[in-house]
Structure 1
Amino acid sequence: MVIETVDVDTAVHVLTRAFADDPVARWLLPEERYGAWAARVFGRVVQASAEHGKLAVTAGGTAVAVWLRRPADGQAVEEEPLPPELARLATVQELTADRHPAGEPYLYLAFLGVVPGERGRGLGGDLLRHRLDRADAEDLPAYLEASSARSRELYLRYGFRDAGDPIPLPDGPVVRPMRRNPRP
């Protein structure tokens, strides 16, 4: 069961736990910085998602989907400059910018996370189905960057397709841009 929520603290806690073993998250925030910075990184985006009614958490509070609606001009919500400790996040944003849909509004899945021990139970799929049904009703495409082969496989099952070649991060893993067109 999916619950629309504005419980930012719960969502940030779930994402911090869920991404602790994610290859891209660990590249962005190596071990010595993860604990101190993960909540700040997730918190910024979770708050924006909650403010626009796009944040969803499963009933048990063990899975979170953070969606952002992007306008046709592709301009993100005004954000504060990133501190030097998050320079790699700026790198990811720069490397993926031209893969986002252009000239049309779309939904951006910033994060989908399920806490360890709850994975494989369909919680992420429930969250995807919930928002993608709404995207279809609104005739909106969806876009994301898969951070692992496992997450890419999940997204493929829900109609996403690769949006170009994978993007290698400097001295790090790859991200896989993906897009899903609305279904009639």
Structure 2
Amino acid sequence: MSVYSYELETIKGELISMEQYKGKVLIVVNTASKCGFTPQYADLQKLYAEYKEQGLEILGFPSNQFGEQEPGANSDVQSFCQMNYGVTFPLFTKTDVRGEAAHPLFKHLTEEAPFDGFETSNPSGKMLNSFLQEELPHYLEGNSIKWNFTKFLIDREGNVIKRFESTDEPFEMKANIEQLLQFSLT
């Protein structure tokens, strides 16, 4: 299966196919409004504004699975993102991204881009890794999503190219995004 095989529900409740994103470079990210990584919305929006015309789409999936950091209704999430971060990229309905109830898209993404650990040389990577080891060690097992703001970069043909963990800042993806945007579908 490819990423284009999945159907998604937008934050407004409309069912769409991932096929509508064929030919685009995608960032798929699980998000939350009350997380230490929530300010990443600002940089994700900056990337979207800079590269949207060249073919970048960012797809945000709010999830309440990590510390219940996304407690509001879908309408609350949408309002929060627009008012606080000016988010204009597509948002989807609150979604389970790990465990048995995980959306099939996220199961696919984590199979294609396995967990490779946190960059513990940076403070946030060290902190999140320590927190999970102490409080939720089972979260570190396997390839599932570990926390909010895990980002998957997908090329124009639907191939999952790279996984960026919560502790990776959105601008760290910039060189990879630019490289993928240079390639056109033939």
Give the structure-1-normalised TM-score: 0.31
Structure with a larger share of its residues in strand: 1
Q: More relative contact order in 1 or in 2 (CA 8 Å, sep 6+)?
A: 2
Under a length normalisation based on structure 2, what TM-score does the superposition of the two structures give? 0.30
